[in-house]
Structure 1
Amino acid sequence: MGDLVYFLNGRKAEKIEAVTFADLRMQESDIEEILRSSIDMICDDEESMLIVGQQVKNEKNGRSDLTAIDNNGNIVLIEIKRDRKDIEGRKEAFEFQAIRYAASYATLESTEDLVKKVYAPYIEKYRSEFELGVLTSYELLIRKLNEFLRVNKAGKSFNKKQKIVLVASDFDEQTLSAVSWLNSNHVDMSCYKLTPFKVNDEIYLQTEKVLPVTNYEDYYVNLMDKSLATIVKRNKGGTRRTLPKIDSMLDWGVVKEGDVIAVKDRDNEGILLANGNIMVNDKEKSMQSWLKEIYGWSSVQTYVFAIHKESGKSLSQIREEYMTQQAMEASDDF
């Protein structure tokens, strides 16, 4: 594999080459559990997500890997393959397998439907991760799901659309070509590369959003041109993942070390640190992990739900205002 990362050993940068999940003797189920526990690995900071199902059967006994709902009320199907060899070895194309599963979810008409058919079996499998209290599992889940939709103002858009996320350590050209075409024809499908690296006895995972990109034509397979790998490397696209992060906002001076960061619609507060993390009750946490603990979701729109207490604005608003101002000043210069 050609992907390379570097780590600092003292003042020397040492090159590490990617390994494969097969080298690590990891199965698809291992990758599935990693993503179930850490779905924010493949979420934008502008996205909230709640995992609601795992290995859910449809009427034809097909099993979807992970099922989630996002902050727009879309049901999200997350399908996983270990590597390119697994994708190419399937009788049915990776992307079309996912489409069949998504089609079965399109029939769900209400949150009650989703809880009964998908979410309830999930909580039964992972009861230790939920605090039921005096509530039945159904009561807890319907409350949790409805709160997620209400806070994200997505109640009216519940399951109006379905999204598909494909995850693998590498993709073949045919899959990338098909996904590009589907995206250009308004099917919401993403491809994420999840690449393992081994340093001594530690395993590190690098995530990269391969699709969608700005210009899908770059990914269509040209049967007369075998240079797709070069094109893939060159075109990363402009997605929301490229928005500046909290470190940039600190550099700009729009927020500063010691500012109080509050949580939207909650009483929780923390102190912003110079590295962009939050200090809460003498413990340093990343903003994402702090918000996930508070809301109990799998992933949280970090910059929407983190509120700068002094200004009363979300970090997203502050960032947008600054970037708009800079763009206006730049245009005035011309």
Structure 2
Amino acid sequence: MYKVDIENKKLIKLNSTNFAVMGLSEPYDIEDWIEKTPLVLGEEYLIIGRQYILPSGRELDLLAIDKGGSLSIIELKRDNSGIEVEWQAIKYASYCSRFLPEDIFEIYASYLKTDIEEAQAKIETFIEVELEKLNENQRIVLVSKEFHSDVISAVLWLRDFEIDIECIRLKPYLTPDNQLIISPEKIIPLPEAKDYVIGKQKKEKEVKKSKIRSTFSLEKSTLNESELKTELKATFLKSSDQTKRLIKFFKILLSEDKKFIRKEIINQLFHEGIGTNEGQTGRFLSNISQYFTKTNNSHLRQLVSFDTGGGFGEMKDNYKIETKYRSLVEEVLSNLNEI
């Protein structure tokens, strides 16, 4: 690597070094750098955990989410990958593949030292897919100055079997005045070959999906009006961005006694400042719809009718507050100074 001396029109060679000589380590230095600037890995990541302890007692270096909602296991080595780093990361990924969205919110909340609602809101804002897609796939990102040939061979073989695993080389250099410069380089897969690589096929994970479906229900409660008011008030008092969106959603439905199609609600939510673009607003509406079908929200399904294919993950449409409950919803919102 060379530094350009523009004034004197010459190149100054930078000396390659290694992290050990510099007294730098992966848990206290390299991990810090990537945690604070994950873009050094070549794309945007949301770091949701650091040194996360698995049931085996082993610590996962960094846990992250990419824009597509994939859970990303980032494993760091200092100057040499060793010969088993990929196997170690695979074990971590196999464990993390079981995480439900609620598990991920809890992990991120612990990392942020905040509540689950705020953690969920931050994840919703970051990802560019619907919340139902969270952790549908997993990725492994190996980071080191050098990679052992056995690791390279294993990674290439795993990719042949559609395991999403990549290697990123972090090479340190010293300037003549002893400033440290880091040069990141993705060596697997090669960026030049990316357009020619067949996209990873989505494998069905029936066990995980069955767990997710266990939180899905279309059953309505049969509460009396007093009980409904209590439940709805408790829902609206939850402190989260999701609650703010839910209240705006109800206010839209209250504006007319009719069925509202999905596109109409998206337009009005976007006009109310929900989402930076209509695509994100649509994902927020999908998250509200998913919230309606959670088993413990049967009171919301008693209040609001909607059309659905009847299965988990199917799009919902034609939302309407049941006419007999419109005044009840208005009263609850009014008492909360939302109308």
Per the normalisation by structure 2, the TM-score is: 0.54
1:145-173 deviation per Cα after TM superposition (whole angstroms, max 9, x unaligned): 12323xx1242321111000000011111
- Structure 1 residue 168 corresponds to structure 2 residue 109: no
- Aligned-partner Cα distance in 2 for 1:78–1:157: 20
> How many Å apart are 1:265 and its aligned residue?
5.0
1:196-207 equivalent positions in 2, closer than 5 A: 196-199=172-175, 200-207=177-184
What's the secondary structure of 2:82's corresponding residue?
A: helix
**In structure 1, what is the equivalent of residue 193 of structure 2?**
238
**In structure 1, what is the equivalent of residue 99 of structure 2?**
108
**In structure 1, what is the equivalent of residue 250 of structure 2?**
none
Identify, as 1 or 2, the structure richer in strand. 1
**In structure 1, what is the equivalent of residue 36 of structure 2?**
37
One-letter identity of the residue aligned with 1:19:
T
**In structure 1, what is the equivalent of residue 286 of structure 2?**
none
One-letter identity of the residue aligned with 1:146:
E
- Aligned-partner Cα distance in 2 for 1:67–1:140: 18
**In structure 2, what is the equivalent of residue 156 of structure 1?**
132
**In structure 2, what is the equivalent of residue 147 of structure 1?**
125
User: Which of 56, 79, 82 is equivalent to 2:75?
Assistant: 79
- Aligned-partner Cα distance in 1 for 2:10–2:126: 46
User: Contact 2:105–2:120 at 8 Å: present in 1 too?
Assistant: yes
1:89-122 deviation per Cα after TM superposition (whole angstroms, max 9, x unaligned): xxxx100000000011111122x21122x21221
1:12-38 deviation per Cα after TM superposition (whole angstroms, max 9, x unaligned): 211112110011110112101100001
One-letter identity of the residue aligned with 1:143:
A
- Aligned-partner Cα distance in 1 for 2:100–2:126: 17
Q: Are residues 7 and 22 of structure 1, via their aligned partners in 2, closer, same or farther at CA, if it must alter by over 3 Å?
A: farther
Higher relative contact order (CA 8 A, sep 6+): 1
- Aligned-partner Cα distance in 1 for 2:108–2:11: 46
1:166-315 equivalent positions in 2, closer than 5 A: 166-199=142-175, 200-213=177-190, 237-239=192-194, 266=276
- Aligned-partner Cα distance in 2 for 1:103–1:7: 45
User: Which of 57, 64, 70 is equivalent to 2:60?
Assistant: 64
One-letter identity of the residue aligned with 1:82:
R
Per the normalisation by structure 1, the TM-score is: 0.55
1:18-37 equivalent positions in 2, closer than 5 A: 18-29=16-27, 30-37=29-36
What's the secondary structure of 2:141's corresponding residue?
A: strand
> How many Å apart are 1:139 and its aligned residue?
2.4
One-letter identity of the residue aligned with 1:11:
K
**In structure 2, what is the equivalent of residue 255 of structure 1?**
none
User: Contact 2:60–2:92 at 8 Å: present in 1 too?
Assistant: yes
Q: Are residues 157 and 138 of structure 1, via their aligned partners in 2, closer, same or farther at CA, if it must alter by over 3 Å?
A: closer
- Gapped regions of structure 2 (runs ≥ 5): 196-273, 278-339
Higher Rg of the two aligned structures = 2
- Structure 1 residue 121 corresponds to structure 2 residue 141: no
> How many Å apart are 1:68 and its aligned residue?
0.5
User: Contact 2:76–2:143 at 8 Å: present in 1 too?
Assistant: yes
- Aligned-partner Cα distance in 2 for 1:201–1:177: 35
**In structure 1, what is the equivalent of residue 297 of structure 2?**
none
User: Contact 2:2–2:14 at 8 Å: present in 1 too?
Assistant: yes
Paired residues in the alignment total 196
- Aligned-partner Cα distance in 1 for 2:60–2:150: 21
- Structure 1 residue 7 corresponds to structure 2 residue 27: no
What's the secondary structure of 2:182's corresponding residue?
A: strand
- Aligned-partner Cα distance in 1 for 2:4–2:146: 22
Q: CA RMSD in A?
A: 2.1
1:308-327 equivalent positions in 2, closer than 5 A: none
- Aligned-partner Cα distance in 2 for 1:177–1:57: 28
**In structure 2, what is the equivalent of residue 95 of structure 1?**
86
> How many Å apart are 1:239 and its aligned residue?
3.1
